[in-house]
């Protein structure tokens, strides 16, 4: 029985490990698809993207090892999107995109996309990709101006919207987005790569779920979440009670030598 399982039900640790590894492999295939189909070197050489499988509530089931810095924002990306596009409005073939830092995103170049995975008519997961799109408008090429003093200097903000609906492009979203960037050809190619990544992931995950059985898949995923929580609680329990402080400094912004402290 795994830690964190209080039902008395025996957990098959081997089956859990196999599904865990399988879902990570699906995430890796998503990333390889993205890397091989993208236009920009920031994707196909720098690998500035991350791919994952998430629960319908945004919890992470599995993640590949591309850009770890993007992993922490993935649950917020999904959860904030679902506040504006409810689960009841999400259909097979939809792809949702957003890049708004005020809606759980990272910074404006980081575009988050996810698509639902339905099996037997039930939503069982999302496949997710976050990637750094190299140009999103704003006051300077590359959308990374050190002189920026407000969010509008950093390029176009895209709230959660469907860029594909029932498998078809939403042309108005594409037109609006591409009209506000300096490199529409590369942006188009990179967005297509992100879409391809989540769609490949959705197709592969459906194969996995059909092989496992939908209810069995959902139960093993729940066991994985319990096991992860138990392991994390076990690690935290090793830390003695008390107050802990840490201080570090922001990187230099290229304009000022003022040291900005971060205290935790």
Q: Indicate whether this model's pTM tops 0.85.
A: yes
97 pLDDT higher than 70? yes
The 10 Å Cβ neighbour count of residue 64 is: 24
Decide if 50 contacts 74 (C-beta within 8 A).
yes
Provide the pLDDT for residue 107: 87
1 pLDDT higher than 70? no
Provide the pLDDT for residue 7: 57
177: left (phi over 0), alpha (psi -120 to 50) or beta: alpha
Identify the top-confidence range among 11-15, 60-64, 93-97, 137-141.
93-97
Rg (CA), the chain: 20
Ranges 2-11, 113-122, 186-195, 245-254: which has the least confidence: 2-11
- What is the phi/psi pair of residue 249, to 5°? -130, 145
- What is the phi/psi pair of residue 112, to 5°? -110, 130
């Amino acid at each position: 029985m795994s830690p964190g399982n209080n039902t008395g039900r025996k957990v098959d640790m081997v089956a859990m490990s196999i599904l865990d590894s399988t879902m990570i492999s699906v995430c890796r295939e998503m990333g390889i698809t993205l890397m091989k189909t993208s236009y920009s070197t920031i994707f196909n050489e720098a690998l500035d993207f991350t791919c994952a499988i998430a629960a319908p509530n945004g919890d992470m089931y599995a993640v590949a090892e591309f850009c770890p810095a993007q992993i922490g924002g993935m649950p917020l990306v999904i959860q904030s999107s679902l506040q504006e596009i409810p689960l009841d409005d999400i259909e097979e073939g939809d792809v949702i995109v957003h890049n708004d830092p005020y809606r759980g995103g990272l910074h404006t170049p980081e575009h988050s996309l996810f698509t639902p995975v339905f099996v037997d008519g039930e939503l069982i997961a999302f496949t997710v990709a976050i990637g750094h799109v190299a140009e999103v408008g704003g006051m300077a090429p590359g959308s990374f101006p050190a002189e920026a003093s407000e969010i509008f200097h950093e390029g176009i903000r895209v709230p959660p919207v469907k860029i594909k609906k029932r498998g078809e492009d939403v042309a108005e979203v594409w037109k609006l987005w591409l009209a506000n960037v300096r490199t529409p050809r590369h942006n188009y190619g990179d967005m297509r790569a992100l879409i391809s990544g989540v769609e490949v992931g959705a197709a592969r995950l459906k194969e996995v779920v059909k092989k496992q059985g939908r209810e069995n898949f959902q139960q093993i995923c729940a066991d994985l979440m319990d096991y992860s929580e138990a392991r994390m609680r076990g690690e935290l329990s090793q830390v003695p009670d008390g107050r802990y402080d840490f201080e570090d400094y922001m990187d230099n912004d290229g304009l000022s030598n003022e040291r900005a402290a971060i205290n935790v």
